[in-house]
Homo-oligomer: A and B are copies of this chain.
């Protein structure tokens, strides 16, 4: 029997904060039972955890930051807790972790360490947009976020149109 903890991939809300519209009850229960979370932004994560589980003591929660400024040494230490038998949750700032956010790095690390990974169900703007588009979902590509700068954005869109 594997007594190590696992890595839960926990979706955050998008668009609205109605928990009962965004995630299944089982995801709420998992969040309530975890005390360790890898997060993009501490404030955003604490707000979400409070929303899901208002009675949970925020003092008992340990957060590990994962964003562009996280060093690889820090990253390496985040999953140590799993070898002490405790599970940890990865929460995105919005939507599903690992999809268009830096979370994939820690998931890859968990694979290396043979830690069990449990992706949970929740909202993904990419998927909901594709469903609602009426376009062919038999095969599709997500080309990532477009540049914020208008000139760069126009250039990228033209390039995507040319390559299609």
Residues of A that sit less than 8 Å from B by CB: 9, 18-26, 96-101, 103-105, 107-111, 117-119, 121-124, 126-145
Contact call B96/A127, Cβ cutoff below 8 A: yes
Contact call B100/A132, Cβ cutoff below 8 A: no
Number of copies: 2
Contact call A107/B121, Cβ cutoff below 8 A: no
Q: How far is the CA of A97 from the CA of B132 in the complex (A)?
A: 9
Contact call B22/A24, Cβ cutoff below 8 A: yes
Partner of A100, one of B100, B111, B135, B138: B138
Given contacts A110-B134, A140-B141, contact A99 B127 (CB under 8 A): yes
Partner of A128, one of B110, B119, B128, B143: B119
> Which residues in B have their C-beta under 8 angstroms from that of A103?
137
